[in-house]
Amino acid sequence: MKRNSLAPIMGINRLRIGTDGKGITTLVAFYGCPLKCSYCLNPQCHRALSDVTYFRPDEVYDVVAKDELYYLNTGGGVTFGGGEPLLYPHFIGDVLNLGAKKWNVTIETSLNVPYNNIDYLLPFINEMIVDIKDIDPLIYESYTQSSNAVVVENLKRLAIVGFVNHVVIRIPFIDGYNTLDDIYKSKHFIEDIGYSNFDIFQYKTRVKL
């Protein structure tokens, strides 16, 4: 275990209900993201990593573990978000290896990361919430300034290993970028891969970055 590893942590928010997975959860949010979304929900995640606070795994675990009684009584646990938590799979594994076996573990991700990062954490994860943006590559690139080819490939690989029932696919309506027709095209495409749990909603897009 790499207990001397460090990761840039944007915040550790305790006692959250109904927003980050089942039951009462603690959200651990990381700095850093591969996307440059026009309407970023957490723009602070793009701060220069030389100017942020770094934590050791045991420091994160000590905060999260304070609410273990709530997790066990509500089916909750810890949610790793950001930013993009799957940029730090070994750090997350180190946190969970300190004693999180009975917690529900959720990852909130864009899935735009190397598959090895995902595969490493699959033994630890109970649920993954994937913000897919839009499956159309032109819409996705227009909004995120990135390709979604890796995202699609990762969805297919997760289906192959039988993880689809543990994934919630979030497909947002993004004003100025996609339409309801685009959303349902995305949904049908992803259903054909094997997914069935969707969260379709609208971004609140007050400020464009």
In a domain, 161, yes or no: yes
Give the domain range for residue 162. Answer: 7-202
For residue 102, tell me if it sits in a domain: yes
Is 46 domain-assigned? yes
pTM: 0.93
* CATH code: domain of residue 51: 3.20.20.70
pLDDT of 156: 98
The domain total for the chain is 1
**Residue 96, burial from CB neighbour count under 10 angstroms (0-12, 13-18, 19+):** buried
- Give pLDDT, residue 11: 95
Q: Is residue 84 part of a domain?
A: yes
How far the first Cα of the chain sits from its last, in Å, is 39
Q: Name the residue among 22, 26, 23 with its Cα closest to residue 11.
A: 26
Residue 2, in any domain of the structure: no
Token pair listed for 49 = 């990593």
Question: Is residue 33 in some structural domain?
Answer: yes
CB 52 within 8 A of CB 11: no
Could you give the C-alpha distances from 171 to 59, 91, 110, 143, 202, in angstroms and in order? Answer: 34, 28, 11, 13, 8
pLDDT means over runs of 10, the chain (209 residues): 75 86 92 93 88 95 96 95 96 95 95 98 96 97 97 98 97 94 97 97 63
The reply to whether 208 falls in a domain is no
Predicted confidence at residue 4, as pLDDT, reads 53
pLDDT score for 145: 96
Position 207 in a domain: no
